[in-house]
A and B are shown apart, each in its own frame.
Chain A
């Protein structure tokens, strides 16, 4: 158990809908990362937050957004969903976002868009 929690574990929805994925980092960690794992793209970085502020953006679609709240939990919002958004979404956390730190991953949220 990494200490990172993600809810829900599974999500089935329809095209055009909007969903919210939630992540709670390990106790004391200030940095949260979101990754998407799909069969064709592999594991791809979406976005990073550090202590409530956006720190870095990767290949995140404009239909996707995220935020980190004062209690440090984070939410990833996916809207106007398409079939191709079906994937496993991981949240990871690290202590202070220093290069030498390890990112610990949550169990993931498996999203299926029908």
Chain B
């Protein structure tokens, strides 16, 4: 069973539209971290945000915002007033506590490809 599900494979929007990328996760741990990474066409993976399981406050960074809801095991990412430069594949990832609290590997979703057209 997938631990991180990004149900939207591809999304296409027109510039200045708002867009939300969905992420649903599954874990039995009480302590875990969630991440979003961006992979632009050039291929590198760029870190966007980290959120721990005890902090359900929404976070806003410029045009980016994140909504974490433990009740629905979701960690959704919204881009407001999208721009062409936002075109990329976006990955949601989960890190569970292992080995007495040390970090294990990241478990990635399949990614959502966002295309922003001018």
Which residues of A come within 8 Å of B, CB atoms?
2, 31, 33, 35, 42-45, 48, 55-56, 58, 88, 90, 92, 94, 96-108, 110
Contacts and interface: CB of A to CB of B under 8 A. Distances in A.
A99 B101 contact: yes
Interface residues of B, number: 29
A102 B35 contact: yes
Majority SS at the chain B contact face: strand
B95 A99 contact: yes
A31 B44 contact: no
A85 to B, nearest CB: 18
B8 to A, nearest CB: 14
A45 B106 contact: yes
Contacts of A98: 101-103
Nearest to A110: B43
Contacts of A33: 105-106
A7 to B, nearest CB: 14
Majority SS at the chain A contact face: strand
A101 B43 contact: no
Contacts of A104: 47
Of B91, B105, B106, B110, which is in contact with the most chain A CB atoms at under 10 Å from its CB? B105
Nearest to A34: B105
A107 B43 contact: yes
